[in-house]
Amino acid sequence: MPYSKNTITSTLLAFILMIFCYSMEAQTVSGRVTSSESNEPLVGASIRIQNTNQGTVTDADGTYVLSGVQPGDSLIYSYIGCIEVRLSYQGQSQLNIQLSSDDRLLDEMIVVGYGSQKRSSITGAVSMIKSDEITSTPALRIEQALQGRMAGVQVSQSSGAPGAPLTVRIRGTGTINNSDPLYIVDGVPVGGLDFLNPSDIESVNVLKDAASAAIYGARGSNGVVLIKTFNGKRNQEGIVQYNAYYGIQNAWKKPRLLNAREYAILSNEAHIAAGAAPLPEFANPDALGEGTDWVSAIMQSAPIYDHQLSISGGSEKSTYVISGNYFNQEGIIGGKKATFDRITARINTTHQVKKWLLLGNTLNYTWLNRDGITDNSEFNSPLIRALNIDPVTPIRKANGTFAYSPYTDTDIANPVNAIEQTFDSWTTNRVVGSVFAEAELFKGLKARSTYSIDNTFANQRRFYPKFDLSVDPVLSDAPATEKNLVNSVGFNANKWSNWQWENTLTYIFTIGKDHHLNALAGTSALLNRHYYNGGANTNLPSNKWEDAYISNTIDPIASQSSYEGADESALNSYFGRINYDFKDTYFFTATMRADGSSRFGANNRWGYFPSFSGSWIFTNDGLLDNWLALGKLRLSWGQNGNDNIGNYGYTSVISSGQNYVFGPGEVITNGSVALGASNPDLKWETSTQTNIGLDLDLLSGRMQVITDYFVKKTSNMLYAIPVLSTSGTAAPVQNIASAINKGWELAAYLKSRPTSALQYNIGGNLTFIHNEVTDLGTGGEPINTGRIQSANSTVARTDVGHPLASFYGYVTDGIFQTQDEVANHAFQSEGTSPGDIRFKDLNQDGVIDVNDRTYIGNPIPKITYGLSGNAAYRGFDLSLFWQGTYGNDIYNGSVRYDFTYVNRPQSALERWTGPGTSNTQPRVSLNDPNQNARVSDRFVEDGSYLRLKNIQLGYTLPSKLMQKVAIRELRLYISAQNLLTFTGYSGMDPEIGVVGSPLELGIDKGFYPQSRIWMAGVNLKF
Amino acid sequence: MKKHIYKILFLTTPFLFSCGKDFLDKKPIIGVTSDNFYKTEEDAIAAINAAYAALQFELSPAGHFRWFWGDIMSDDSEKGGSGDNDVVELYQLEHFQGPVNTDLLDAEWNADYEGIYRANVVLEKVPSIEMDEALKARILAEAKFIRAWFYYNLNTMFGGTPLVDKVLAPSEYNLPRADAATIWAFIEKDLQEAIIDLPLKSQYSQKDLGRITKGAARSLLAKAFLYQRKYADALVQTQEVIHSGEYSLVPDYGTIFTQAGENNSESVFEIQYMNASGGNWGKNAANEGTFTNVFTRARGQFAGYGFNIPTQDFVDEFFKEGFEDPRLKYTVFRLGDQMGDRGIFTLANAGDVGYIYHPRKYFSNLSEDAPFGDPNPNGGSNDRVIRYSDVLLMDAEAAFQTGNEDAARASVNIVRKRVNIAEVTASGQQLIDAIYHERRVELGLEGHHFFDLVRTGRAAKELGPLGFKEGINEVFPIPNSQIVLSNGVLKQNPGY
């Protein structure tokens, strides 16, 4: 962050020097060029005499000698990343110049597809964050660092479990298909970012509009995230950086559930309501007391820590960075059984081999280990079990072994034991790297060739130990989920080997004085290959994880299962781009990409994706007003595709192994059939996006406002619609639907004057998105998704005229207070009684049935926003970062209402017990004949939240003191993540990303909540 | 100039390696595509075997066993398990408070249509294969039987469902329900056609034991006719089976439901299972075993789930004639009985869940447990769907209903004679009641009784006390998930 600005401007310095030295003849001037921030010498800074070829560069001490200077000449001091200083030479023999770093926002270099541009010349909609923002919050994964930082980029947790992926949506959910953006790291397309160490990243640029992303053609429609990793600087002495933090994670909220006494009271009522005798052991509920707090039993404090070491630097012709990182996080649910471990190592180098030839590489190795406990499952996650198991059952029996619940059965097993019995470990080794050569063929024309690989080797080992919670193991009285009488071992191995070869030609030239052109042409070939194998067997004598290998099992080889297979996809592309600007004022860009994808049938193999964009800097007419330093208008249009479907979707594959048994010897005989349907007409989906934007630089560049309005239409959306069982097959992928996303984005930034002692900056962004399905193809039938077990029905519906995956169900209308009210209302069910929920008869046909459902909620936020503030004063720094959503709903499916005997939230105490007792909480009944648990607005809650994602207080030790011990910088900090959350949502966490299917949004099935983390850290540089 | 040569090389080299045309032509590496399959005789056999595989579906993923519907829904047995809440939907269904949105009915509906799809694939793809014509005709006939079987299940369970007579394109999935009569006609047509080309049981080679026979098709057709009360038509079919000489009752009733009794001389249609395929839970998990054994075995030391508990009413049926019917001890375990090699049936041994009866027919010994893998999904007992005694009793019923009481008595007495009990001499209502009694006793806990009660109009009387409502509970509710997916094109059965 630019809080450390405290400088005398170079021009002022030059002016002072000018007074002392004055002469008229051609002279020699020497001096030193240093950084105004650090006082360190700037090596390789250039000094030129304007309008001549004369010039020099500074040496390793930052000193220079320039001869042949005449008084009155204009000297230009420049250095990459610093503000140029021009001064009129007045005959001095010595000129020491300080350059200050250039953080004027419009002159930032923005990484775009296959190149970079100054922000001022950007015509599309691109957002960027830089390393200081990424590392300002200790980010566990790079996606977290993007959350709330950029307008139009929505990031949410898909689980709070360590190492869980995040959901990233650029300009809304563009498609009912996979809406994940395309990730390009140093030019390499990668699937997922879990391998990256956030500290290695220099910048993240997000191409939001179609015109910017069109250069990525068939893969660009969900936006493109371009990540650039650090490299060293030339002529820079090695800098060693060590960063570390340690933190403790805790639950920020615990649900309030019934205690044993309350549970028993409700159980008794439920039995009586269903005409059954109450359980004798619940005759005196008061005797049961508090009972077991299952949620506390499965949650704990868990550590999180990170160590990061990097060395970077460069010689005259080479640069390097070497870094290593170790990260470890345990889960607040599952503890060590939910550990995420990551080791990364990186080497990036560049070498100027010839004057015209630059070679370089990036190489990243990552080792990941993720021990998974089941999360986000309404069937068997520890959390859903803890929320639903009765509080009467103790965790352990008197003899110390785990107890099972005699009341809850089937899914709801003892969660503490379930965690204990979980052994599920993913280990990943991944190498992502590239080599490139760039040749300047003649001035302005560069050819670049890049070959890259992304090889991932991922293994999963699972062990299901033998256990039996039976009171009497001989009788084996425990229900099926509370015992496993034969242990088993399973192993899966996956290898993803992807390579890409890209070749580009760039030609930068000027016609006349004012017409600047930059032309790009390129080709790309990409091959993805996935190879997998695995096996399983039963009966391991030792029942220990350490021994859990298939070869240690004693069941015969004949019982082992094994499999092996592979699949491939290929992409071949040609692309081109022309950037043109007139007088640095009018900008125009046109791009075209042709993509051929193996995922589509031969009929639809090639797609063509054009874009056009332009911008106008309307303040370049010399009217540089102090309050408006720069104003720019942008307009763009483009088309992108999405090929995020599985391989071979156009054809149907015959599956063997659909066997039957024939003959007296019971011979297993092969049967084969296609389990899925084919679609030979399959093609990419297309999104067309128009963007209009306005950039304003105010208050001498201290304030920036960027706003964009966009309309994004997606058509031919690919989706395997859930099909009726009459198909007899799994659903085929079809090009069936269209949707529109309209939105408005605003980002603003304000920072303090560089000279003020108190340095501060405030940034904020705001995104309004409206999403609507406009067409659902042939038949136009709505898509029902998001099945939840507690209602045994789907919750979400995607239909024309409504947002994607909107909640769809019955509308409640209070509680029947009397039998008369039941009789006078539309027929709901035979068993409907007073105390049951009254559902609205929307079609007024006198019967409550599926035709009485309607749209009852929208999981997509109307507004997402982020707000950051940083302040620094005399070595202290404080930062706050807030993030939130507004206007989204959550369907709370975390209570298994399909089991009428499981535990309930405290709100169940407000139940109806007689006329007038409640108009919101229905009576309790063992058999729920009225289906009070059916999908209805009763379970739809406002999911808006505002969260203090991070607050951090740091102190940088005085540099004078540190220099004595040869330390460049030492900073200590404490920080808290998720310290405050404001939400009306009753569940454990309102921040719920996509879980499972892309059309399952905002459905809480026992969501693994994010933790509150207290941490302390150190940044050391020498 | 030298420098320029390198530069030119640099510029041109990448373009020398242009992508071959087949770079983008990626065919599946695993499995063949439909276009390359259905070319040979082996392909045709693999196709029909896949349709047979659908017969084994019973947990897809929720249970939809034949004994769920035929026995538990009737007054022969109760759900059982660890308590009322163990598969509570089944408890609700058996008390006719059926929720319309249960997995169990979803699973039944799904599995039936998946079987129909697999049969349709055979009927569509196999005709154009160049192969032995006789074998081709047989395979097509097997497919027609399998299709008819799944429609029989659908029609008796739900009463008129969408008619799918070919492999549907995605645009064709949303079909309205056909009425029950249309489906019956379709079943009859498939079976009539299948009968022509299906071999007799004795005409199959040993290695094909378990394949569908002409006798199976005729017997299923007889069942279909009986369900529609087309007694004369049913009689034609049962007579054909009886006079085919292919079937006879085994002398010892007690051997029928043993491993040795599989595919015996009275086996007409038997779904084949084995205990050593090593497969796992789930319908397509390469599993050739049944879950029935573990589900219906007593709990506790018997290591079962204790489902399908015989009722007192059912046991009493065996004493109706004033003596204990000899078939009772092979149908029901009573307290004190030896449960094979697993021990003596006491309340304590059986997990203290309080059941005094357990079903016996699908009991499997410990020694018959899967030799490897998880024994639970790998039960070895074949599902005896149609036995010859069922054919004889259908014959008796059809003969009675068409006015031939002598023939009716003759057929029912063949069944009684095998277990050495006195011949029936009654006539009129007493005779038909005797035939009904014989069915309940002879075929007890084999998945028939609920449907027998419904088709003979006795369900309201027998099951009324359990909550059965006439005009509603003859059929189950259409799975709600399907109605939702169809956006109302599928209409719910009345009363649900």
Per-residue model confidence as pLDDT tens digits over A528-577? 999 999 999 989 999 999 999 999 998 887 778 888 999 999 999 999 99
Query: Which residues, including other chains, have CB under 8 Å from residue A936's CB and lie 6 or more apart?
Result: A809, A810, A811, A812, A837, A839, A856
The answer to whether the beta carbons of residues B399 and B279 sit under 8 Å apart is no
What confidence tens digit (pLDDT) does each residue in A747-773 have?
A: 999 988 877 888 899 999 999 999 999
Residue A982 backbone dihedrals phi, psi, to 5 degrees: -110, 115
Query: Token digits for A40?
Result: 């360190």
How close B287 comes to chain A (CA, Å)?
Answer: 8
Residues of chain A found within 8 Å of residue B374, distances taken between Cβ atoms: 486, 488, 538
Residue B27 pLDDT level (bands cut at 50, 70, 90)? confident
| B373 contacts A538? CB cut-off 8 A | yes
The confidence band for B9, taking pLDDT boundaries of 50, 70 and 90, is low
- Residue contact A475–B351, C-beta within 8 A: yes
| Distance in Å, alpha carbon of B432 to nearest chain A alpha carbon | 35
- Specify the pLDDT at position A104: 54
Tell me how far apart the alpha carbons of residues A412 and A407 are, in angstroms, rounded to a whole number.
Answer: 9
CB contact under 8 A, B10 and A447: yes
d(CA A71, CA A26): 7
Pairwise pLDDT comparison (B153 vs A92), residue with the higher score = B153
CB-CB under 8 Å, B35 with A658: no
**Cβ of residue B427 closer than 8 Å to a chain A Cβ:** no
Between A559, A605, A668, which is nearest B372 by CB? A559
Beta partners for residue A967, in sequence order: none
Q: pLDDT tens, A377-400?
A: 888 889 999 999 999 999 999 999
Instruction: Mark yes or no for CB contact B28/A648 under 8 Å.
Output: yes
Of the residues B39, B88, B108, B145, the best mutation for testing chain A's interface (the one with the most A CB atoms within 10 Å of its CB) is B88
Residues of A in contact with B171 (CB under 8 A): 778-779
Interchain CB distance below 8 Å, A476 and B372: no
Residues of B in contact with A652 (CB under 8 A): 33-34
What pLDDT does residue A493 have?
A: 96
Residue B5 Cα, gap to closest chain A Cα (Å): 10
Model-level ipTM above the cut of 0.90: yes
- Rounded average pLDDT over A781-787: 85
Rounded to a whole number, what is the distance in Å from the CA of A537 to chain B's nearest CA? 7
Residue B16 has what pLDDT? 53
Nearest Cα of chain A lies from the Cα of B49 at a distance, in angstroms, of 4
- Determine the topology of domain B1-198+474-491 in CATH: 1.25.40
Q: Pick the residue of B117, B157, B167, B270 with the most A CBs within 10 A to test the interface with A by mutation.
A: B117
Model confidence at A422: pLDDT above 60: yes
Instruction: For A457-479, write each residue's pLDDT tens digit.
Output: 999 999 999 999 988 888 778 88
What residue in A sits closest to B110 (Cα-Cα)? A725
Angle between helices B231-243 and B214-227 (to 10 degrees): 160
Element spanning A202, H or E:
strand A201-207
Q: Which of A483, A484, A724 to mutate to test the interface with B (most CBs of B within 10 A)?
A: A724
Q: Minimal Cα–Cα distance from B318 to chain A, Å?
A: 31
Contacts 24+ apart (CB under 8 A), A906-914: A906/A256, A906/A257, A906/A258, A906/A262, A907/A986, A908/A258, A908/A266, A909/A258, A909/A262, A909/A266, A911/A266, A911/A269, A911/A835, A912/A815, A912/A817, A912/A834, A912/A835, A913/A269, A913/A835
Phi, then psi, of B432 in degrees rounded to 5: -65, -35
- Condensed to tens digits (0 to 9), the pLDDT of residues A276-325 reads 889 999 999 999 999 999 999 999 999 999 999 999 999 989 999 999 99
Q: Chain B residue closest to A830 (CA)? A: B97
User: Which range among A70-84, A468-482, B241-255 has the greatest average pLDDT?
Assistant: B241-255
Confidence of residue A107 (pLDDT cuts 50, 70, 90): low
The dihedral formed by the CA atoms of A889, A893, A897 and A899, expressed in degrees to the nearest 10: 170
| pLDDT digit string, tens, across residues A210-231 | 889 999 998 999 999 999 998 8
* HEC per residue, chain B: CHHHHHHHHHHHHHHHCCCCHHHHCCCCCCCEEHHHCCCCHHHHHHHHHHHHHHHCCCECCCECCHHHHHHHCCCCEEEECCCCCCCHHHHHHHCCCCCCCCHHHHHHHHHHHHHHHHHHHHHHHHHHCCCCHHHHHHHHHHHHHHHHHHHHHHHHHHCCCCCCCCCCCHHHCCCCCCCHHHHHHHHHHHHHHHHHHCCCHHHCCHHHCCCCCHHHHHHHHHHHHHHCCCHHHHHHHHHHHHHCCCCCCCCCHHHCCCCCCCCCCCEEEEECCCCCCCCCCCCCCCCCCECHHHHHCCCHHHCCCCEEEECHHHHHHCCCCCCCCCCHHHHEEECCCECHHHCECCCCCCCCCCCCEEECCCCCCHHHCCCCCCCCCCECCCEEEEEHHHHHHHHHHHHHHCCCHHHHHHHHHHHHHHCCCCCCCCCHHHHHHHHHHHHHHHCCCCCCHHHHHHHCCCHHHHHHHHCCCCCCCCCCCCCHHHHHHCCCCCCCCCCC
Most confident range (mean pLDDT) of A52-66, B15-29, B338-352 is B338-352
Which residue from B minimizes the CA distance to A901? B85
Note whether B6 and A447 are within 8 A (CB): no
Closest to A446 in 3D by CA, of B121, B165, B10, B392: B10
Q: Average pLDDT of chain B?
A: 92
Question: Distance from B375 to chain A by nearest Cα, in Å?
Answer: 9
3-state secondary structure of A815: strand
Q: What is the pLDDT of residue A13?
A: 40
Contacts of B56 in chain A (CB under 8 A): 660
Cα(A572)–Cα(A598) distance, integer angstroms: 9
Q: Which chain B positions have a beta carbon within 8 Å of A556's beta carbon? A: 371-372
Q: Average pLDDT in the A491-515 region?
A: 92
Contact B114/A723, CB-based, under 8 Å? Answer: no
The whole-chain average pLDDT of chain A stands at 88
Cβ contact, residue pair A475, B208, below 8 Å: no
Tell me the domain boundaries of chain B.
Answer: 1-198+474-491
Of the candidates A410, A666, A671, the beta carbon closest to that of B50 is on A671
Give me the residue from A672, A726, A899 closest to B46, CB to CB.
A672
Q: Does B11 touch chain A (CB under 8 A)?
A: yes
In this complex, is the C-beta atom of B50 within 8 Å of any C-beta atom belonging to chain A? yes
Give the whole-angstrom CA distance, residue A192 versus residue A410: 36
Give me the phi and psi of A286, to 5 degrees please.
-60, -30
Q: How far is A918 from chain B (nearest CA, A)?
A: 26
Subunit contact A673:B482, Cβ cutoff 8 A: no
Testing the interface with A: which of B3, B12, B19, B84 to mutate, by most A Cβ within 10 A? B19
Q: What does the CA dihedral A128, A134, A139, A145 come to, rounded to 10 degrees? A: -20
Within an 8 Å CB–CB cutoff, is residue B12 touching chain A? no
Quick check: A666 and B274 CB within 8 A? yes
Instruction: Decide which of A137 and A940 is more confident.
Output: A940
Mark yes or no for CB contact B49/A658 under 8 Å.
yes
Q: With beta carbons under 8 A apart, name residues in chain A contacting B351.
A: 475-477
Q: Do A439 and B46 touch (CB under 8 A)?
A: no
**HEC readout, A234-287:** CCEEEEEEEEEEEEEEEECCCCCECCHHHHHHHHHHHHHHCCCCCCHHHCCHHH
Contact state of A729 with B114 under an 8 Å Cβ cutoff: yes
Cα of B483 to nearest chain A Cα, Å: 8
Q: What is the pLDDT of residue A396?
A: 95
CB nearest A566 (choices: B29, B43, B164):
B29
List the one residue out of B455, B381, B490 whose CA is nearest residue B65: B381
SS3 A633: strand
Neighbours of A72 (CB within 10 A): 10
Give A511's contacts (C-beta < 8 A, 6+ positions apart). A517
Q: How many Cβ atoms from other residues are within 10 Å of residue A118's Cβ?
A: 12
Residue A999 reports pLDDT greater than 80 = yes
Q: Is the pLDDT of residue A678 over 90?
A: no
Q: What is the pLDDT of residues B33-78, one digit of tens each?
A: 877 899 999 999 999 999 999 999 998 778 999 999 999 999 999 9
User: Do B272 and A356 count as a contact with CB atoms less than 8 A apart?
Assistant: no
Comparing CB atoms, the residue among B46, B101, B171 nearest residue A793 is: B101
Better-scored residue on pLDDT, B336 or A119 = B336
Residue A390 in contact with residue A408, Cβ under 8 Å?
yes
**Interatomic CA distance for residues B69 and B85, integer angstroms:** 18
Mean per-residue pLDDT for A821-834? 91
Chain A nearest C-alpha distance from B66 (Å)? 18
Whole-number pLDDT of residue A111: 84
Cα A850 off chain centre by: 37
Tokens encoding B357: 């009866």
Q: Does B258 touch chain A (CB under 8 A)?
A: no
Q: What is the C-alpha separation between A393 and A889, in angstroms, rounded?
A: 34
Length of chain B: 496
Q: Does residue A602 sit in helix, strand or coil?
A: helix
User: Tell me: the pLDDT tens digits for B412-451?
Assistant: 999 999 999 999 999 999 999 999 999 999 999 999 999 9
Nearest to B446, CA basis, from B326, B332, B282, B321? B332
Distance from CA of A116 to the nearest CA of B (A): 22
A405 to chain B nearest CA, in Å? 12
- Cβ contact B438:B412 at 8 Å: yes
Give the largest Cα separation in chain B, rounded: 118
The residues in B 222-241 lying below 8 A from A, measured between CB atoms, are: none
